[in-house]
Amino acid sequence: MYFWLKEIQFPYQNVTFAPTDNVNRVKPKKHLGQHFLNSEAIAGDIAALVPDSSERVLEVGPGTGMLTRYLAGRFPERLWCVELDKESVQWLQAVSYRSNFQLLEADMLHADLGPILGNTGHAAVVGNFPYNISSQIVFRVLEHRGQVFWFGGMFQREVARRLCSPPGSKEYGILSVLLQAYYQCQYQFTVHEGSFTPPPKVKSGVIACVRKETDVPACTWESLKLVVKTAFNQRRKTLSNALKPLALDLPVELSRLRAEQLGWKEFETLALQLDTIKTR
């Protein structure tokens, strides 16, 4: 790891790194799910995952700026940070590398992300995502998938594994299907509790997802989301029972299966049928 840090010194030569004990100057708020990253090594590893070709980079919840410093060094004037916590915003306003990024005090779940992500279709979204809203963040990225070509960062480990898990596993669920329908997802590495202040009670996991440009669902996003959610809301039932509310004509080979046994392409088949029903 020390050799890796030495190799990346040049891109960061114009960024002054503050001492790691700066994390103590902003009080973590439990209601915001804040666990501030305190490891320079982990911050560097996450920042290194973001593709060089990213034309816009959006960091969600920068907190005390541990990850921000590395991103600001790699993507000066291309980095946007969205932070809800006023105390963190005040801290970030005063950092030495402030001129390298745009800072927006807002709730990522409700902010207008369109102008931030730009219109080139080559934006990246990254962060040490608050555990309590991580699923909602994934949905927001999927809603802006035409703009976001890369998505990754830190989640609770169980959530990170779920996002990348294949059909048939116990971890496979709604977000697994929807994210993998549009992105190639890989679990990168596990982060232990001591890398955060305060330390969470669970381990974290880092993932990286690249948008697929081909082999994507032909159905509408709305229909795919509805079919997947309906199927998994009663995941112990066979699809013939779980999907009754949608009045679909299920193929025999699918009717006896359960939601976790289907890949996104099988769900696409059902969603296309729902699209047809909606147009009648």
| CATH architecture label of 221-279 | Orthogonal Bundle (1.10)
Each of the 280 residues of the chain gets a pLDDT tens digit; together they read 222 332 333 344 444 444 444 445 787 777 776 789 999 999 999 999 999 999 999 999 999 999 999 999 999 999 999 999 999 999 999 999 999 999 999 999 999 999 999 999 999 999 999 999 999 999 999 999 999 999 999 999 999 999 999 999 999 999 999 999 999 999 999 999 999 998 999 999 999 999 999 999 999 999 999 999 999 999 999 999 999 999 999 999 999 999 999 999 999 999 999 999 988 7
SS3 annotation, 8-21: CCHHHCCCCCCCHH
Q: Domains of the chain: which residue ranges?
A: 2-211, 221-279
For tokens 């907190």, the residue is: 63
What lies within 8 Å, CB to CB, of 90 at 6+ separation is none
Domain 221-279 in the same topology as domain 2-211: no
Tell me the per-residue pLDDT of 70-125, one tens digit each, with 9 for 90 and over: 999 999 999 999 999 999 999 999 999 999 999 999 999 999 999 999 999 999 99
Largest alpha-carbon pair distance within the chain? 63
Q: Are 239 and 250 within 8 A, CB to CB?
A: yes
The two tokens of residue 61 are 């919840």
What amino acid is encoded at 182 in this protein? Y
233 closest CA partner among 246, 251, 220: 246
What lies within 8 Å, CB to CB, of 72 at 6+ separation is 15, 79, 97, 100, 101
CATH assignment, 2-211 = 3.40.50.150
